[in-house]
């Protein structure tokens, strides 16, 4: 006798591997036919679309037809709806197959189109800062989807409920036809914890990278502001028609230069460097012993 029981992770994974093998076989044959009749250029141009067509053929002949896939038949599991009492309805199966096969392709195409539009022009009427922010978000969205996929896999290793996003969204589970006497099943929780650890490390490295990038940008802004301030002071001195000491704001007496080339009064810069060994304008290190008194300087 046999009974229905929740399918185990190992059975679901073996089933998916078999399905991938047979769908790859269909893809390979379609590629050969297209290359023979239309040439390699057409094959390269439409390869992704042909792969999607091959998967629709495979799942159309099995899942949409109310039959087990070859992988499901191999490990003796069947699809059931959320009630676990009947197979999914035709509408649910159609939505699941369309979502599983076409969603990754449509998402990738949409991201590429949006990225191209943001790079070439700004038809959305955004500011330049907003456009760059949105462009950065679009480029990083692939990492976000990869992160979600890893989370999804980690959950699967813990509870063996849904291996694909499409089945989770549609509520389609797997039940296994088990004999009354069966061997104990190994636990996949160790893989779940490994996935969680990998996910945590990847997230930590990503956050560290964002922090470093933000810090570099902040330092760059401070440097630019400092350079702008120095140029403003130098411009004001030039406009007043004479060299003035940036510290006392009077005409420079006993002209003295720092190692960075800025000019000050001897007494002003000497007192400054006694407590702050750096140039007051550009903040470059400057000890009192490095000050140069300029004689006959006009």
CATH number, domain containing residue 283: 3.30.40.10
200 versus 108: which is more confidently predicted?
Answer: 108
Whether residues 201 and 244 share a domain: the answer is no
Mean pLDDT value of segment 167-171? 92
Residue 231 lies in a domain: no
Residues 78 and 87: beta-carbon distance below 8 Å: yes
**How far is C-alpha 17 from the chain's CA centre?**
27
pLDDT of residue 184: 62
**How far is C-alpha 274 from the chain's CA centre?**
51
State pLDDT tens for residues 53-89: 999 999 999 999 999 999 999 999 999 999 888 899 9
pLDDT exceeds 50 at position 241: no
State pLDDT tens for residues 24-61: 999 999 999 999 999 889 999 999 999 999 999 999 99
Residue 230 lies in a domain: no
Residue 203 lies in a domain: yes
| Beta bridge partners of residue 257, listed in sequence order | 263, 292
Phi, psi (rounded to 5 degrees) for 241:
80, 10
Of 186, 217, 248, the domain-final residue: 217
Give the whole-angstrom CA distance, residue 259 versus residue 103. 63
Residue 252 lies in a domain: yes
pTM of the model: 0.65
Whether residues 99 and 147 share a domain: the answer is yes
pLDDT of residue 29: 95
pLDDT exceeds 90 at position 253: no
pLDDT of residue 257: 86
pLDDT of residue 132: 80
Structural domain boundaries, residue 241 = 237-298
E strands, 40-188, in order: 77-80, 173-179
**Length of the chain counted residue by residue:** 298
Whether residues 242 and 213 share a domain: the answer is no
Number of domains composing the chain = 2
pLDDT exceeds 70 at position 266: yes
pLDDT exceeds 70 at position 265: yes
Give the whole-angstrom CA distance, residue 59 versus residue 94. 10
pLDDT of residue 196: 80
């Amino acid at each position: 006798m046999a009974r229905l029981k929740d399918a185990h992770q190992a059975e679901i994974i073996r089933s998916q591997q078999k399905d991938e093998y047979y769908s790859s076989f269909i893809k390979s044959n379609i590629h050969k036919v297209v290359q023979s009749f239309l040439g390699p250029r057409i094959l390269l141009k439409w390869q992704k679309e042909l792969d999607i067509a091959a998967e629709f053929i495979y799942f159309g002949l099995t899942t949409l037809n109310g039959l087990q896939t070859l992988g499901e038949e191999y490990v003796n599991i069947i699809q059931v709806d959320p009630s676990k009492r009947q197979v999914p309805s035709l509408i649910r199966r159609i939505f699941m197959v369309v979502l599983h096969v076409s969603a990754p392709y449509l998402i990738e195409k949409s991201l590429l189109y949006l990225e191209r539009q943001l790079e070439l022009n700004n038809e959305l009427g955004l500011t330049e800062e907003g456009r760059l922010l949105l462009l950065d978000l679009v480029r990083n969205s692939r990492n976000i989807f990869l992160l979600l996929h890893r989370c999804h896999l980690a959950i699967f290793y813990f509870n063996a409920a849904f291996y694909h996003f499409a089945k989770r969204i549609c509520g389609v589970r797997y039940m296994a036809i088990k004999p009354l006497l069966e061997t104990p099943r190994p636990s996949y929780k160790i893989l779940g914890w490994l996935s969680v650890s990998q996910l945590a490390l990847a997230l930590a490295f990503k956050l560290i990278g964002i922090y470093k990038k933000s810090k570099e940008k902040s330092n760059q802004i401070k440097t630019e502001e400092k350079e702008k301030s120095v140029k403003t002071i130098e411009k004001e001195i030039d406009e007043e028609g004479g060299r003035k000491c940036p510290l006392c704001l009077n005409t420079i007496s006993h002209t003295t230069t720092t190692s960075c080339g800025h000019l000050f009064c001897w007494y002003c810069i000497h007192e400054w460097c006694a407590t702050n060994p750096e140039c007051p304008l550009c903040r470059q290190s400057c000890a009192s012993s490095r000050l140069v008194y300029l004689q006959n300087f006009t």
